[in-house]
Structure 1
Amino acid sequence: MGVEVWLLVAGVVMAAWAYSRWRHSYWSSRGVSTPPYLPFLGHLHKLLSLSQTRWRYVDEVYHKYGGSTLSGLYELFRPVLMVGDPDLLKNIFVKDFDHFVDRRKFLAEEGSISNIMLSNLTGDEWKTLRGIMSPTFTSGKMRSMFPLICEKADALVSFSLKEAANKPFVDMKVNFGRFTMDTIASCAFGIECNSFKSEVPEFSKYAEMFFNFSFLRILKFTLFNMFPTIGNALRIKIDSPAIKYFSNVVEETIAARNAGQRRGDYLDLLLDARAGVSHPIITDTSTVPHNQSTTTQDRTAQETNHDSSVTNVNNIPITQSKQVLTNKSIVAQSVLFLIAGYDTTASTLAFSSFLLAKHPIHQQRLREEIKQIIHEYGDITYEGIMEAKFLNACLMETLRLYPPATFGERQCTRTFKIPGTELILHPGDVVTVPFWSLHHDPRYWPEPEEFQPDRFLPENKSNITSFTHIPFGMGPRNCIGMRFALMEAKVALAKLLLAAEIHLDKNHTGLKIDRSPFLLRPEEGVNLVLTPITSNTYG
């Protein structure tokens, strides 16, 4: 090539390098520390790596580069602020929620139902839909679903004990997945999956398929996240076969409901809201299983976290409900409930059973509490399960060690000045919160890697720093299905421990964690040895 061409190439390279340097000076120019980054990529290669789990890298930023208070990251050229200070998190999630109403949208291809799921909606669309959906998860609805959850838990125990009689160990990760899928499908949609009667349960197979993140799928996901216009122009598809499968199932169920089949469940509630039928809602915070301390401010944060978004459908104009709840939107929320509820609860049960098998003293304590509940109530009841303090503590400690989502995000919607600093966030700026690091920070959790359920007993709640335990998110945009998931997990764990002692398989004394950058879940099976307790009523 001629000298002129080489000079042109060199000029382009230098200009690109200078542009990258300028874009990556965003945080340093504002006095925010950043970890080392690569030109053009920023930190994206670390955040989406399949060789190192995301939360391990984020934890390094948390401890070495200011992430426990404020640290700056770059996704290509997009600046993202990591916030790990609990006091500031209280502002973002609760006190100044009106400045951080939205989550970042993760768009799929045009026409995908993923784009209209509750988790992806923003502004008034999100607020309206959240108000419509919230009545499904109040205490009254939980009580009505409780017998059905017990029935599915009995099937889980019976199936697992039969497997234990014929195998050296039982893969409880698989069995808990069957249980959560059967429970959600039955309680919310009246669909009987019969996962415990099928060698390869179809529903669970497709749900599991959804959570297999290949490099190509992550690449497509990143392209749509960063450059949705290009993704759509290239007609790239990122919806998995699982999305299409569950969409078809829900559409068939809606057709049956329109033909007159009613069950008064989650799906009926959405269909009624679209039609303008109102339902009374009882707001109840008596069963909130969180860890906040008892100051007035913290009680307010608790109540906001769990129930402030519950709104009577009567207060939502019928025309607005119809605009938000199209047939496609109802399908989208139903698929979200099926897929999201399946994995998070199944993984939590798998982790908790592993931890209890590893700590037989805690396992026996929990079994004694369950026996006491049965002695007092005559059976495993909704009231008894809600009062089971050590059962709740075991699940909360499991969720501390293994939060299903290792990070959370909020997007700034109104100009916000970070308290105590000169840093100003503008609409569109993204804040990321390192859940895993907060849950494992020795400043807040002595011996953070140890399974110590007593941390979450009522008498010890005052020892817990607010906004350092965030397994379900916080504030009005917390996980809408939290109550359902916890009740489901408590029933399954109680029924299993009442029927059997669980032990670690001799060749399975540790857990391998999936390297997905998005969710924390076991990579392989959770192999446990189940020894039936002779006084049980199962099998």
Structure 2
Amino acid sequence: MIGALLVAVFILSLIINRIFDEIKFLKLREELGLRGPPTDLFIGNCRYFYKIAIERGIEASPYICAELVHKFGSTFGSYIGREFEIVTTDPAIIKEVFISQFRNFVDRRRLSINRTYPTLDGLLQVGHKGTYGVGWKEIRSVISVIFTSASMKKMHLMFHDQIDNLIDVLRNKCRINNGKMDIYGEYQAMTMDMIARCALGQNISCIKDRNNDYYSCARTFFANLYFEKSLIFRLAIFIPIFRHLRQFTNFGRAEKIIINKLSASIRERERDRADGIIRKLPDVIDLILAENEKRVENGKIPLHHDVVVSNAWALFIAGYETTSSALAYASYLLAKHPEVQATLHEEIHSTFGDADTIDYERVMRLPNSFQHAVFCETLRFYPPVTSLTGRTCIKETIIGGKIRVPVGVGVVAPVHAVMWSEENFVRPREFIPERFLNDKRASAWSATYLPFGIGPRNCVGARFAEMEFKTVLAAVIRCFVIELDLDHIELHTVMGNVLQSPKGNQLFVRLVERRTGAEEEWESLGADSGIDDCEI
């Protein structure tokens, strides 16, 4: 009896202590002199955000931060479960955190569900000290070699077959159902083929055959990577230990299938290299393994197998989903703005004609082309990545001249609120590519243009994404006119783990095949000479 009473008293003491800790935690925002949305014990601001989602729909999620800025000022505090974040759209503070004080903010924001294998030691999440003693800086140096101009030129050579396959499939599909199609699904298959070829050295041809584990599992992964779709995701926010159940979620099970395939492929490639078998056109895995071999030669510890797998996975999912979303958004915006599409087509046709190869040199020409402006404006208008522009403080400091940032507190630059602000862009909710002609704001060091982040930990694959986006879009615009589908005039997007995706995982447009210059000339000749079509 006494023993049971002591246990009850002990448990009650823990609960009371936990409540007092939580009350103290929720006072942190006020102590730092910040305002923010209303809080609740143990769940922070989650009920507030959940209420908005219920009242206005999940498609309202991209607009929440901008509304909070309007209500609480350019810098405010937000509680996400057991994490406290300082959210800011102030360009001066953004530059301070991500550039001038970067040494104090090396680690990315701490989203619990991502702090386990396979994401924890990937470049997207790894901190200044990784699980196996290799932090972000060393991993970044290994990964960076993949994205040199020389490496990308070689990878671009692998694009051509996939581009031809895409155009063939789109031509066939635009001749049925009045040209209506889910262009997002087509781009997902296309970018999956490209990243599989460049990262894994495999020709899987998803664009022609969707019954492929990589494609189906990747779509399942991203379709379920949302707070409201996973109980484990929700629990991990409030009770971090639940993150270890990631593999039992719908997205975790799909992820595990691809991870096992990547692991087996890496093991096989390691054996090949040990036997002296080196590929003439190295893919991402080859390049990572080659850099790992150099580490050993220089007396450094080799990257653990799980670290190699984690980074192959990070590059795989980043190269697949973000570019397919950007291409889908671009297609929708060009359909909605036919005058922009006409200008872009004129430039593409004058550069490549009807049949020239879309080569690396011309597609990546000087950044004052109209295509580059369309690329920049699409990512400003609909940024695919929304939550990686956040850092966790590893050494207490002061930002903005007065805001104390304790160790463990995150500072987030909300991508939408920054790039949709009237203070940063004129008429920000209008699609105006011309704003980026000869404009240097779209750089890795801009505090107002953030689709690839900012500072030393900006997106390492930004140039690869740009190369892929421009190559595919040039090929599509050269062959097709993109029109709005009357049943899908308005586009709604939702925010998941770190991504903004089309609501329902679909984006419909209508494609109309263009006639080539030769066809138009032949048709004109027939009309001028009075010859019937059947005679021609």
- Is the aligned partner of 1:522 residue 2:502? yes
Q: SS in structure 1 opposite 2:300? A: helix
The 1:392–1:146 alpha-carbon spacing in structure 2 relative to 1, beyond 3 Å, is same
- Is the aligned partner of 1:153 residue 2:163? yes
2:35 to 28, 33, 36: 33
- Is the aligned partner of 1:252 residue 2:254? no
2:515 alignment counterpart: 534
Give the TM-score taking structure 1 as reference length.
0.82
In structure 1, what residue type is equivalent to 2:398? K
Give, in whole Å, the separation in 2 of the partners of 1:537 and 1:252.
49
Q: SS in structure 2 opposite 1:197? A: coil
Q: Which moved more, 1:373-382 or 1:37-46?
A: 373-382
- Is the aligned partner of 1:359 residue 2:359? no
1:347 alignment counterpart: 325
1:475 alignment counterpart: 455
1:502-525 deviations in Å (ceiling 9; x for gaps): 111122211121353532111242
Give, in whole Å, the separation in 2 of the partners of 1:219 and 1:140.
45
- Is the aligned partner of 1:180 residue 2:191? yes
2:398 to 412, 417, 434: 417
Unaligned runs of 5+ in 1: 1-7, 279-313
- Is the aligned partner of 1:118 residue 2:120? no
The 1:47–1:134 alpha-carbon spacing in structure 2 relative to 1, beyond 3 Å, is farther
Shift of 1:480: 1.4
Give, in whole Å, the separation in 1 of the partners of 2:394 and 2:20.
30
Shift of 1:528: 1.9
* 8 Å CA contact 1:104, 1:411 repeated in 2: yes
Give, in whole Å, the separation in 1 of the partners of 2:15 and 2:288.
55
1:60 alignment counterpart: 67
* 8 Å CA contact 1:499, 1:537 repeated in 2: no
Q: SS in structure 2 opposite 1:118? A: coil
1:294 alignment counterpart: none
Give, in whole Å, the separation in 1 of the partners of 2:142 and 2:182.
38
Question: What does 1:45-444 correspond to in 2, within 5 Å?
Answer: 45-47=47-49, 51=54, 52=58, 53-66=60-73, 68=74, 70-106=75-111, 112-124=117-129, 125-168=135-178, 169-211=180-222, 212-213=224-225, 218-229=230-241, 232=244, 237-238=248-249, 240-257=252-269, 258-259=271-272, 260=277, 262=279, 263-276=281-294, 317-320=298-301, 322=302, 325-374=303-352, 379-387=357-365, 389-407=369-387, 408-421=389-402, 423-444=403-424
2:4 alignment counterpart: none
Shift of 1:460: 7.6
Give, in whole Å, the separation in 1 of the partners of 2:127 and 2:233.
19
Shift of 1:131: 0.5
* 8 Å CA contact 2:32, 2:404 repeated in 1: no
2:25 alignment counterpart: 23
RMSD: 3.3
Count residues with an aligned counterpart: 487
1:427-486 deviations in Å (ceiling 9; x for gaps): 211111111011111122222111100111115859999411100111111111111111
Shift of 1:104: 3.0
In structure 1, what residue type is equivalent to 2:331? S
Q: SS in structure 2 opposite 1:178? A: helix
The 1:229–1:357 alpha-carbon spacing in structure 2 relative to 1, beyond 3 Å, is closer
Unaligned runs of 5+ in 2: 1-8, 130-134, 520-536
Give, in whole Å, the separation in 2 of the partners of 1:326 and 1:474.
28
Give the TM-score taking structure 2 as reference length.
0.83
2:534 alignment counterpart: none
Q: Which moved more, 1:257-266 or 1:189-198?
A: 257-266
Shift of 1:20: 4.7
1:106-131 deviations in Å (ceiling 9; x for gaps): 45599732322222211151111111
In structure 2, what residue type is equivalent to 1:249? K
Give, in whole Å, the separation in 1 of the partners of 2:300 and 2:125.
21
Q: Which has the larger radius of gyration?
A: 2
The 1:404–1:131 alpha-carbon spacing in structure 2 relative to 1, beyond 3 Å, is same
The 1:33–1:497 alpha-carbon spacing in structure 2 relative to 1, beyond 3 Å, is same
Give, in whole Å, the separation in 2 of the partners of 1:347 and 1:109.
21
The 1:98–1:47 alpha-carbon spacing in structure 2 relative to 1, beyond 3 Å, is farther
* 8 Å CA contact 2:183, 2:328 repeated in 1: yes
* 8 Å CA contact 1:109, 1:237 repeated in 2: no
Q: SS in structure 2 opposite 1:81? A: strand
